[in-house]
Structure 1
Amino acid sequence: MIFFITCTASLKALRQNNDSKYKLNTFDLQLFNGEKTEEATPKRKEEAKKKGQVAKSTEISSVFVIMASFYSLKLLGVSIYDELSRYMIGIFSSIYTTDFTINSVQLLFLNVIIVLLKTILPILLVIMIISMAVNYMQVGFMFSTEILMPDFNKINPLSGFQRLFSKRSLVELFKALFKVSIIGYFIYRFAVIKTDDIPRFIKMELIDSLKLAGSLVIDLAFQIIAVMMVLAAFDYFYQWWQHNQSLKMSKQEVKEEFKQTEGNPQIKSKIKEKQRAIAMRRMMQEIPKADVVVTNPTHLAIALKYEKNMAAPVVLAKGQDLVAERIKQVARENRVAVVENKPLARALYPIVEIGDVVPPELYQAVAEVLAYVYRLKKRLS
């Protein structure tokens, strides 16, 4: 029986001990939880921008570049065709009369480059301007060299394998498949609708067939661009959301950043406490120079001094409650008159600071108190 009771007590103690350990471990897990639930601070966002980490959608840039390209072709197509046709006519008309020497071949390549620049350069300039404008609208002006620094993690096979099967890669794969499906559907739909126009190419002249083919391609391109615009808008909001999620901080990180930027709150409070103590000592050192201390009598105390060369009496010290009691004590120790005047004390305290002069509306009341103090001093002397 005794053995049974002993075993039962031991098991109960062991269970309680395990329960206490479990609770302690649970507390530690909550205490050191690094879950990032806080929104990114302005400093965190600025640091990310310096590193080139911004909310940016490549889909928006791509769709605007494609739109600018096809729109430029639509506007400049006729002039590009005329320029190329004149050059080709000139080349083929003189091919039998031209001696192919080194100089003539060099001149031929030079003319090819000039023609290409005249036809392609305007489109390239439009694409470049549109691309820069779209990027500026998304992220503003940004110049970062950190993104150009070599990162060996990018060539690490293990890191590359992890990125390959990461959530971001799966989302990009889904986006790519969705785009291909949408574009394929519109191409199929367009081909079915325009099936009747295909036999017309057989009976048309080359120039007319090229114009018709160009117009069909551009119409199809603008239909696809319209769909891609909608997809790009969704992608931009997704990139913005994912960027904000990646910049989120834990509560501990917010505290550490606050300490770095604003300083440790405990140190700041100690500094302020020392500053208040120094200011208090200086104020108490000025009280013996005062002519009178006006009191409430228990809650407020204001020490005043007046000399003939002063425009008005000056406040040397002020305080309430415990500070007021200390001011009165120092005044009595240094034989400074302490006068009870509730209306004057209540009127002075909120409107004057240490070193200020008494406001004109209180000259009369302060003068009466000073006159009383001077008469009192004469009697005592």
Structure 2
Amino acid sequence: MDEIRKVLIPYDLQFFAKDGEGGEKTEEPTSKKLSDARKEGKVAKSKEIVNGIALLGFFLALRLFIGFAGIRFKEIFNWIYSIIPDIVRMNGSGLTIVTTTTLFRNLLGKILIILLPFLIMGFITGFVTNLIQVGWKPTMKPLEPKLSKFNPINGFKRMFSKESLVNLIMALAKLFLIFYIAYIDIKDQANNLFILYDIGLKTALSFIFQIIVDTGMKISIVYIILGFIDYAYQRWKFRDDMKMTKQEVKDEWKNTEGDPQIKGKQKQKMLESSQRRMMQNVPQADVVITNPTHLAVAIVYDNTKDEAPRVVAKGEDYLAKRIRETAKENGVPIVENKPLARALYATVEVDETIPPELYQAVAEILAVIYTERNKAG
């Protein structure tokens, strides 16, 4: 046994796994992924809350507008009975397709007037509930046809998924609670139901209507409570589905911010190109002011183009050395002035004129150089 223990070498299986490829989604979703999902119409919301509040709104509308609906229904029956003699008279000669269509159109218009308050209540409750859940950002993406929706394999996966199981449990819970609440309400009113034969029709209808509305509102409230539970689950599920692998986070960052290596190479190339252009200006400089070895600043003054001396090249360390070497090769004077070199390097960029506070110091150096150049000439 001891010999076997000596042969066994402990190792970590995660060492052989490639980071992010087929890995678990452990990273929280980025704002970009959530924004893209929102554009696709993928949001966390519960249809149960919408259905529950819409159902509650329907029963409230029923309680508020039942008188209005009753009067309208009575008017419809009176209208139908009033036109029966005319219909009987027209049957055989005057009852045409046009006449029949007109009658049905009038009947449909009267029924729509009765249904209008309930339709408005349903629209308002559905719109406001969805707006509170997901906010206002309409998109047509979910309505676009996708072939993946017709894939039978994906259909079977959805049928036997965890979401389908949760939906089944919610449906069974709703059915149980609906039947239980209805049973309790009817049981409590059982004694009153037995006397329906002994009371007037109007009183009996009012009593039945009261039972239906009260039971419906209780069912709606339970439905809303289940909806809030479902909403909490949908938010958790949506967040869990939106999680990303480490590789996905890296890929998204590269796509949005750019590959750091590529950006670094591009920046390096731009810097090299800028330095080449700058070094080409050194031979035309009038003077190079140094630190003496740490900094170097090349200055040119053309009174026909510039109002003041202009910096055409500057650098530190290795670049300062190259500027000095190029200046020597092309016979450009090199002047050591530590304070002036530091001031020029810190305050003036390439192709910019020097500030007024440095005019005097630079002018003195240029005056000496021009004097020596005239003597040599």
User: Which band: TM-score by shorter chain?
Assistant: 0.7 to 0.9
Query: Does 1:91 pair with 2:70?
Result: no
- For 2:34 and 2:82, the matched residues in 1 are separated by 64
- The equivalent position to 1:35 in structure 2, one of 24, 31, 38, is 24
Instruction: State whether residues 40 and 249 of structure 1, in contact with CA within 8 Å, keep that contact through their aligned partners in structure 2.
Output: yes
TM-score calculated relative to the size of structure 2: 0.82
Deviates more, 1:24-33 or 1:278-287: 24-33
- The equivalent position to 2:223 in structure 1, one of 225, 228, 234, is 228
- Tell me how far 1:96 sits from its aligned partner: 6.8
- The equivalent position to 1:356 in structure 2, one of 348, 352, 355, is 352
**Aligned pair in 2 of structure 1 residues 354, 208: CA closer, same or farther (>3 Å)?**
farther
Instruction: State whether residues 60 and 229 of structure 1, in contact with CA within 8 Å, keep that contact through their aligned partners in structure 2.
Output: yes
Specify every segment of 5 or more residues in structure 2 that has no aligned partner in the other structure, as ranges. Answer: none
SS at match of 1:39: coil
- For 1:299 and 1:197, the matched residues in 2 are separated by 105
- Tell me how far 1:249 sits from its aligned partner: 1.9
* Correspondence for 1:121: 116
- The equivalent position to 1:373 in structure 2, one of 347, 363, 369, is 369
Instruction: State whether residues 55 and 139 of structure 1, in contact with CA within 8 Å, keep that contact through their aligned partners in structure 2.
Output: no
- Tell me how far 1:341 sits from its aligned partner: 2.0
Query: Does 1:151 pair with 2:147?
Result: yes
* Correspondence for 1:82: 71
- For 2:371 and 2:184, the matched residues in 1 are separated by 110
- For 1:307 and 1:161, the matched residues in 2 are separated by 81
SS at match of 1:123: helix
**Residue identity opposite 1:323 in structure 2:** L
Q: Over aligned residues, Cα RMSD in angstroms?
A: 3.3
Deviates more, 1:197-206 or 1:116-125: 197-206
**Aligned pair in 2 of structure 1 residues 90, 369: CA closer, same or farther (>3 Å)?**
same
Whose RCO is larger (CA < 8 A, sep 6+)? 2
**Aligned pair in 2 of structure 1 residues 196, 266: CA closer, same or farther (>3 Å)?**
same
**Residue identity opposite 2:365 in structure 1:** V
- For 2:265 and 2:48, the matched residues in 1 are separated by 54
Instruction: State whether residues 316 and 355 of structure 1, in contact with CA within 8 Å, keep that contact through their aligned partners in structure 2.
Output: yes
Instruction: State whether residues 52 and 147 of structure 1, in contact with CA within 8 Å, keep that contact through their aligned partners in structure 2.
Output: no
How many residues are aligned here? 366
TM-score calculated relative to the size of structure 1: 0.82
- For 1:194 and 1:58, the matched residues in 2 are separated by 32
- For 2:190 and 2:156, the matched residues in 1 are separated by 46
- Tell me how far 1:260 sits from its aligned partner: 3.5
- The equivalent position to 1:347 in structure 2, one of 329, 343, 346, is 343
Instruction: State whether residues 36 and 248 of structure 1, in contact with CA within 8 Å, keep that contact through their aligned partners in structure 2.
Output: yes
Specify every segment of 5 or more residues in structure 1 that has no aligned partner in the other structure, as ranges. Answer: 1-7
**Aligned pair in 2 of structure 1 residues 313, 107: CA closer, same or farther (>3 Å)?**
closer
**Aligned pair in 2 of structure 1 residues 372, 204: CA closer, same or farther (>3 Å)?**
farther
Deviates more, 1:332-341 or 1:217-226: 217-226
SS at match of 1:317: strand
**Aligned pair in 2 of structure 1 residues 312, 193: CA closer, same or farther (>3 Å)?**
farther
**Residue identity opposite 1:168 in structure 2:** E
Deviates more, 1:268-277 or 1:223-232: 223-232
* Correspondence for 1:333: 329
Deviates more, 1:260-269 or 1:97-106: 97-106
**Aligned pair in 2 of structure 1 residues 333, 129: CA closer, same or farther (>3 Å)?**
same
- Tell me how far 1:74 sits from its aligned partner: 2.5
- For 1:209 and 1:265, the matched residues in 2 are separated by 80
Query: Does 1:187 pair with 2:166?
Result: no
* Correspondence for 1:172: 167
* Correspondence for 1:4: none
**Residue identity opposite 1:366 in structure 2:** V
- Tell me how far 1:195 sits from its aligned partner: 5.5
